[in-house]
């Protein structure tokens, strides 16, 4: 699949989560985030979910008030990317239970942990929802046991 | 007390965890920056504490702030501290922060190597897990090198959770440290058959990524993937594998045949995602190009896909069907498609369907009757935009195929009669275009009409006036034709003349409607014909027989003029086309090449030209050749191919009888044969040779005119065009050691280049040839943005960077100030070296002058001679004689006459120009050897005796040998 980055941002253009699968200098990242938010938010409703930006394919989808947006190599299949985004949403939904934007804002590290179990280095790591949630639960258990002050 | 204060402050700090920070930021919308700067101060305080929990909390908050765009690089060391915590909770946060904040130039990464290694070997699989996840984000070449071995070990970890992560991260490691690919590959391959589906899919992912970039190194895995494809039920994996096969099939044609079966099964299978179906069809269309037969057998299945809910799938299936049509199944497929046209939803899809049907039929229909009925049936489609297309096809068939005219006319008459159905409700309805064709066919071939009177009446209905102007015009004109036919019928019969007069009256009654038309052409024709009919009526009233004369107005047949017609016109006797009408001014550039060689001669020479009979003989030969060449050019010209009436001149009373015979097939398109191409090339070469000759002409060469060719790899400069700014392209193709490798640094940034590692030592499918091109700027302006592009042939292809399309140009990596030259290298992959090749190419560039810049284009040709595929290879005489004795080589010989140069010069020439080496030389006899880049042996035995050189040659590839000998001959004819 080779995703280069995955961004979650709100309708107002506020970044909610960013994952960079290839190391990119900080300044470049900021530029990409800015370009993505303006480009994607500037799209008219009912237009298609794909964009071209430089030599990348941008695939995005809006879930409620949150935009999920990822950058792929030009030869990648955008439909597959949509499936990947959707699967991530499903995983978040399963973990948080009817996930909403606030869940991701307040537990943003959890959102990352889930993502890390699903994708690795931009590739799909695990296609089974059960396996992903099981490993997240196991890691959380480990964390609960070890101590509490840091967690809620 | 003091303790209490300290503890209290710690508690307070503990209180402000991530959630508090987020909440705080949300509550301070007005002064967010100020609030965050106080938070950062707090975080700095927290980081100073020894308590790891406090530090981890601070790092967690920093990660959040980093996302908001704040610089946190100052805390890199603290992040490493948290990463090294023995507790999973903190480690997890530390790695998360690192994966978000670290990049290759973060210097503390160096410090992490040992920590990561320790985590990788931790007994806790989740420790290893977070380390791997983190590493995937910030792996550097150093880390990759140092940790490659550890990760490789993890690929065989007992826990699938670790195995799959390790497999995936290996791809990142390969990119950073390509040397690791070879040792890791066997294990990676093993993972394709891992019992855990997650690990398996991870391995498929990685290998697909690798193979997509350098498919030929992974061909040997095809059977394994084949097995996976048939056994796997994981759609994600299937998609990957199908994509992989998409990359592999072009390299291994046999794969295509094997793939059909499983792909069909996939399309069938109930569980298939629609994407899989789509990809399956896509893959089939790729296979179709190489194995039409095997796809053919799945016709029904593909037809089924036309019923799919998804339009994309329907369109794919349609594409596929289009490619599958053959003489045998044509009618069946079209019949099915016709059924679909009726059911089809959505105009775009229906239009697509319609164009495809017409496309298929127009190229392959052998049964014209059937085709006409299909076309008529298509007119029933509502709301299509392709009325014009149908109309032109109707005209095309009716004009060209005499035998079906009666049938066509009958069909068209019915159409005209039912015109109201076509024009229907909407005026913009494109289908009414077919009435244009119908009216014309009925008028032109009216003798076939059974009831011309009825049709005439139908054509003059008042409703016609609502049709678009150009159609009305045709109606009026053809009503007149029909009128002529009707008259003839009526006068021929012994009925009373009043019937004929009534017919005239009908026209006189109806035509005024058209005279009032707003369309000028309709008006003009209508009033012209109206006057004519009035006059005819007058004559009729005097009982004059007019039918003959009226028919004469439209006598003769409209013939389709075949593309070759002009050439078939016989030259009238006594006309010599080769004689000058006016003697050309001597030396003018526009001279005909056959004659120009002597054109610029001194005055006295002029006479000699006329007195030389042999000269004209050569001339005629050349002319004949050129005629051939023109034929080839025309065959190649798209404007000659399309034989639709619009592009084809339809002329009355054509001079000759070209070929409008009924057998005239619908297939006008003839693939251009190779011979023509060769002829064309030869002509150009001659052309050039002559031009060159003209400059350095020597009188004594007169006798060799027939042999003038040019084949050295010298300047191939602009030949057809003279651009405003001269850029001389000198192609020096293939230096002796044409490397079958790509050690160039065309794109040093592409990490995938480095991964092109031959993993099984499988033989290369094709050979790479490096062409260095010297660009010289001869104009006075600055030249930049040069883009080099070559039209690939089947055999030779320009290697373009990954992701570039097959027609994309390559950017020349430099700019040229005036008078400067520079060299660029381009890599070509060549499959077959037996034939010399010429590739057409274009160089586009921007010429920059002080005040403006223009975009210019320069065409050129790259000449790949067979010689340039030879590599000078030394050979010892005993090996040489063994080679000759083996009997594997086939022979061929060549005689060169009039070579008056010393033998050693001659040998040196062959060595230098044709990359041979001398094996042995005895007196005036020498044996020479060379080898092609594909390992063909080539042996020459060169003898000389009084100005005659005979070359006996042997090679295991006779085609190559013949071409090399031709090239040698050429070298000597030019000295």
Average confidence score pLDDT of chain B: 74
At B61 the three-state DSSP class reads helix
User: Mean pLDDT lowest for which of A126-135, B4-13, B380-389, B506-515?
Assistant: B4-13
pLDDT of res. A1? 57
The interface residues of chain B toward chain A in range 194-223, judged by CB-CB distance below 8 A, are: 197-198, 201-202, 205-206, 209, 212
**Tokens matching residue B659:** 């070929």
DSSP string across B278-301: HHHHHHHHHHHHH-HHHHHTTHHH
pLDDT of res. B967? 86
pLDDT of res. B757? 55
The whole-angstrom separation of Cα B177 and Cα B755 is 9
Chain A residues in contact with B14 by the CB 8 A cut-off are: 149
- Tokens 């300044």, located at residue: A27
The interface residues of chain B toward chain A in range 283-342, judged by CB-CB distance below 8 A, are: none
The whole-angstrom separation of Cα B949 and Cα B963 is 18
Say how many CA atoms lie within 13 Å of B88 toward its Cβ.
21
**Which one is predicted more confidently, B268 or B967?**
B967
Q: Strand order of the sheet with strand B853-864?
A: B810-811, B782-790, B837-848, B853-864
pLDDT of res. B567? 67
pLDDT of res. A112? 92
CA dihedral sign, ordered B209, B215, B217, B222 = positive
Distance of CA B3 to the CA centre of its chain: 79
The whole-angstrom separation of Cα B570 and Cα B928 is 53
Q: Strand order of the sheet with strand A3-10?
A: A15-20, A3-10, A66-73, A56-63, A50-53
**Tokens matching residue A113:** 């942990």
Distance of CA B102 to the CA centre of its chain: 43
CB B763 within 8 A of CB B719: no
**B103, B175, B242, B750, best to mutate vs chain A, most A CBs in 10 Å:** B103
Q: Do B198 and A131 touch (CB under 8 A)?
A: yes
CB B818 within 8 A of CB B761: no
Q: Please work out, in degrees rounded to the nearest 5, the angle formed at the alpha carbon of residue B436 by the alpha carbons of B430 and B442.
A: 145
Size of interface A-B (CB pairs under 8 A): 139
pLDDT of res. B700? 41
User: Which residue(s) pair with B839 in the sheet?
Assistant: B862
Distance of CA B72 to the CA centre of its chain: 49
The predicted complex's ipTM stands at 0.89
The whole-angstrom separation of Cα A4 and Cα A19 is 9
* Residue B756, min C-alpha distance to chain A (Å): 18
Residue from the list A20, A79, A109 with its beta carbon closest to the beta carbon of B96: A109
CB A61 within 8 A of CB A68: yes
Sequence-distant (≥ 6) Cβ neighbours of residue B722 within 8 angstroms? none
Please indicate if any CB of chain B lies within 8 Å of the CB of A120: yes
**Which one is predicted more confidently, B836 or B609?**
B836
Please indicate if any CB of chain B lies within 8 Å of the CB of A143: yes
Work out the average pLDDT over B12-38. Answer: 81
pLDDT of res. B660? 38
Chain A residues in contact with B104 by the CB 8 A cut-off are: 23
Please indicate if any CB of chain A lies within 8 Å of the CB of B370: no
Percent of chain B with pLDDT over 90: 4
pLDDT bucket at B285, cuts 50 / 70 / 90: confident
**Which one is predicted more confidently, B742 or A112?**
A112
User: Does A58 have pLDDT greater than 60?
Assistant: yes
Torsion (CA) B42, B44, B46, B50 in degrees, nearest 10: -160
pLDDT of res. B714? 37
**Which one is predicted more confidently, B452 or B562?**
B452
φ/ψ of residue B923, rounded to 5:
50, -120
Please indicate if any CB of chain B lies within 8 Å of the CB of A73: yes
| pLDDT digits 0-9 by tens, B657-702 | 444 333 333 333 333 334 444 444 555 555 555 544 444 444 444 4
Work out the average pLDDT over A98-119. Answer: 89
pLDDT of res. B621? 65
pLDDT of res. B286? 76
Residue from the list A23, A126, A142 with its beta carbon closest to the beta carbon of B126: A142
| pLDDT digits 0-9 by tens, B587-628 | 544 444 444 444 444 344 444 444 444 444 446 666 667 666
pLDDT of res. B956? 83
Chain B residues in contact with A75 by the CB 8 A cut-off are: 212, 803
Q: Do A2 and B209 touch (CB under 8 A)?
A: yes
Residue A55: Cβ within 10 Å count: 9
Q: Do B67 and A108 touch (CB under 8 A)?
A: yes
Work out the average pLDDT over B306-321. Answer: 76
CB B138 within 8 A of CB A23: yes
Chain A residues in contact with B103 by the CB 8 A cut-off are: 23-26
Q: Do A2 and B87 touch (CB under 8 A)?
A: no
User: Mean pLDDT lowest for which of A86-100, B452-466, B758-772?
Assistant: B758-772
Say how many CA atoms lie within 13 Å of B469 toward its Cβ.
11
User: Does B284 have pLDDT greater than 50?
Assistant: yes
Give the chain B residue nearest A7 (alpha carbons): B67
CA dihedral sign, ordered B177, B179, B200, B265 = positive
Q: Do B103 and A112 touch (CB under 8 A)?
A: no
CB B475 within 8 A of CB B494: no
Please indicate if any CB of chain B lies within 8 Å of the CB of A150: yes
Please indicate if any CB of chain A lies within 8 Å of the CB of B133: yes
- Tokens 């051939």, located at residue: B628
pLDDT of res. B637? 52
Is the overall model pTM greater than 0.80, yes or no?
no
Please indicate if any CB of chain A lies within 8 Å of the CB of B100: yes
Burial class (CB in 10 A: 0-12, 13-18, 19+), B729: buried
Secondary structure percentages of chain B, helix, strand, coil, to 5: 55, 10, 30
At A71 the three-state DSSP class reads strand
Chain B residues in contact with A108 by the CB 8 A cut-off are: 18, 22, 64, 67
Work out the average pLDDT over B204-216. Answer: 85
Please indicate if any CB of chain B lies within 8 Å of the CB of A141: no
φ/ψ of residue A8, rounded to 5:
-120, 125
pLDDT bucket at B837, cuts 50 / 70 / 90: confident
| pLDDT digits 0-9 by tens, B635-664 | 555 444 433 444 333 344 433 444 433 333
pLDDT of res. A5? 93
**B133, B207, B211, B247, best to mutate vs chain A, most A CBs in 10 Å:** B133
């Amino acid at each position: 699949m080779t995703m280069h980055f995955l961004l979650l941002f709100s309708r107002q253009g506020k970044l909610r989560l960013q994952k960079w699968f290839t190391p990119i200098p900080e300044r470049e990242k900021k530029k990409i985030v800015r370009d993505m938010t303006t480009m994607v938010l500037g799209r008219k409703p009912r237009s298609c979910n794909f964009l071209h930006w430089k030599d990348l394919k941008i695939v995005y989808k809006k879930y409620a008030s949150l935009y999920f947006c990822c950058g792929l190599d030009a030869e990648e299949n955008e439909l597959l990317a949509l499936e990947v985004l959707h699967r991530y949403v499903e995983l978040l939904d399963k973990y948080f239970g009817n996930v909403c934007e606030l869940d991701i804002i307040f537990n943003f590290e959890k959102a990352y942990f889930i993502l890390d179990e699903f994708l690795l280095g931009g590739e799909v790591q695990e296609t089974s929802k059960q396996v992903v949630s099981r490993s997240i639960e196991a890691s959380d258990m480990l964390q609960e046991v070890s101590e509490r002050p840091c967690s809620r | 007390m003091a303790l209490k204060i300290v503890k209290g402050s710690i508690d307070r700090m503990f209180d402000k965890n991530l959630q508090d920070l987020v909440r705080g930021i949300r509550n301070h919308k007005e002064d967010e920056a100020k609030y965050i700067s106080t938070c950062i101060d707090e975080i700095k305080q927290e980081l100073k504490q020894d308590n790891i929990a406090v530090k981890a909390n601070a790092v967690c908050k920093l990660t959040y702030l980093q996302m908001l765009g704040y610089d946190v690089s100052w805390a890199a060391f603290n992040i490493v501290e948290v990463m090294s915590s023995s507790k999973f909770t903190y480690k997890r946060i530390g790695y998360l922060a690192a994966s978000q904040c670290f990049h290759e130039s973060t210097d503390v990464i160096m410090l992490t190597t040992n920590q990561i290694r320790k985590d990788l070997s931790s007994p806790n699989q989740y420790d290893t897990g977070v380390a791997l996840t983190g590493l995937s984000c910030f792996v550097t070449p150093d880390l990759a090198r140092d940790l490659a071995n550890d990760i490789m070990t993890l690929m065989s970890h007992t826990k699938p959770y670790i195995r799959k992560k390790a497999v995936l991260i290996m791809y990142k490691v390969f990119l950073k440290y390509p040397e690791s690919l070879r040792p890791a590959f066997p294990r990676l391959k093993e993972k394709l058959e891992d019992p855990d589906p997650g690990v398996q899919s991870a391995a498929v992912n990685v290998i697909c990524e690798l193979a997509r970039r350098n498919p030929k190194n992974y061909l040997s895995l095809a059977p394994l993937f084949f097995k996976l494809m048939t056994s796997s039920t994981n759609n994600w994996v299937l998609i990957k594998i199908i994509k992989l096969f998409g990359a592999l099939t072009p390299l291994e044609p046999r794969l295509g045949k094997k793939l059909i079966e499983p792909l069909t099964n996939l399309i069938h299978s109930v569980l298939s995602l629609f994407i899989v179906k789509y990809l399956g069809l896509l893959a089939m269309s790729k296979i179709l190009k190489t194995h039409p037969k095997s796809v053919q057998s799945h016709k029904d299945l593909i037809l089924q896909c036309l019923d799919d809910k998804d339009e994309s799938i329907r369109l794919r299936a349609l594409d596929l069907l289009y490619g599958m049509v053959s003489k045998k199944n044509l009618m069946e497929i079209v019949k099915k498609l016709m059924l679909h046209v009726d059911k089809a939803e959505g105009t775009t899809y229906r239009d697509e369907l319609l164009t495809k049907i017409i496309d298929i039929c127009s190229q392959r229909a052998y049964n014209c009757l059937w085709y006409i009925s299909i076309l008529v049936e298509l007119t029933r489609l509502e709301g299509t935009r392709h009325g014009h297309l149908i109309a032109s096809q109707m005209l095309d068939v009716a004009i060209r195929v005499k035998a079906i005219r009666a049938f066509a006319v009958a069909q068209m008459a019915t159409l005209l009669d039912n015109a109201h159905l076509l024009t229907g409700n909407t005026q913009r309805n494109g289908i009414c275009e077919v009435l244009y064709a119908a009216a014309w066919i009925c008028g032109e071939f009216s003798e076939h009409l059974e009831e011309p009177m009825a049709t005439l009446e139908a054509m003059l209905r008042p409703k016609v006036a609502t049709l678009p102007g150009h159609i009305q015009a045709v109606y009026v004109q053809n009503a007149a034709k029909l009128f002529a036919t009707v008259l003839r019928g009526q006068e021929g019969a012994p009925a009373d003349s009043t019937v004929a007069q009534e017919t005239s009256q009908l026209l006189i009654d109806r035509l005024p409607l058209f005279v009032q038309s707003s369309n000028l052409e309709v008006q003009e024709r209508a009033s012209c014909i109206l006057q004519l009919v009035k006059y005819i009526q007058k004559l009729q009233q005097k009982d004059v027989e007019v039918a003959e004369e009226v028919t004469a107005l439209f006598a003769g047949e409209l013939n389709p003029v075949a593309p070759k017609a002009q050439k078939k016109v016989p030259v009238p006797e006594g006309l010599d086309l080769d004689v000058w009408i006016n003697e050309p001014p001597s030396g003018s550039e526009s001279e005909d090449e056959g004659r120009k060689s002597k054109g610029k001669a001194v005055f006295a020479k002029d006479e000699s030209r006329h007195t030389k009979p042999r000269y004209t003989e050569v001339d005629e030969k050349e002319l004949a050749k050129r005629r051939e060449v023109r034929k080839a050019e025309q065959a190649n010209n798209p404007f000659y191919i399309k034989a639709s009436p619009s592009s084809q001149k339809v002329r009355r009373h054509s001079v000759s009888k070209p070929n409008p015979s009924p057998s005239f097939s619908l297939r006008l398109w003839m693939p251009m044969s190779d011979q023509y191409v060769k002829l064309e090339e030869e002509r150009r070469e001659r052309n050039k040779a002559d031009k060159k000759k003209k400059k350095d002409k020597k009188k004594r060469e007169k006798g060799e005119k027939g042999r003038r060719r040019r084949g050295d790899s010298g300047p191939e400069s602009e030949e057809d065009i003279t651009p405003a700014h001269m850029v001389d392209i000198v192609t020096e193709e293939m230096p002796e050691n044409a490397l079958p490798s790509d050690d160039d640094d065309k794109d040093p940034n592409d990490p995938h280049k480095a991964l092109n590692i031959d993993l099984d030592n499988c033989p290369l499918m094709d050979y790479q040839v490096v062409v260095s091109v010297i660009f010289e700027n001869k104009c006075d302006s600055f030249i930049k943005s040069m883009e080099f592009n070559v039209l690939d042939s089947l055999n030779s292809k320009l290697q373009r960077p990954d992701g570039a399309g097959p027609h994309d140009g390559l950017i020349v990596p430099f700019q040229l100030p005036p008078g400067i030259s520079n060299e660029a290298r381009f890599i070509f992959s060549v499959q077959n070296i037996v034939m010399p090749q010429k590739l057409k190419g274009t160089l586009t560039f921007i010429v920059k002058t002080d005040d403006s810049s223009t975009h210019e284009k320069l065409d050129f040709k790259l000449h790949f001679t067979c010689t340039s595929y030879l590599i000078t290879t030394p050979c010892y005489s005993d090996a040489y004689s063994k080679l000759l004795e083996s009997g594997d080589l086939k022979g061929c010989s060549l005689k060169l006459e009039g070579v008056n140069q010393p033998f050693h010069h001659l040998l040196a020439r062959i060595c230098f120009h044709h990359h041979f080496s001398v094996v042995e030389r005895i007196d005036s006899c020498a044996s020479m050897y060379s080898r092609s880049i594909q390992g063909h042996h080539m042996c020459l035995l060169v003898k000389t005796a009084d100005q005659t050189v005979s070359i006996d040659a042997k090679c295991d590839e006779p085609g190559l040998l013949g071409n090399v000998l031709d090239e040698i001959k050429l070298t000597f004819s030019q000295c």
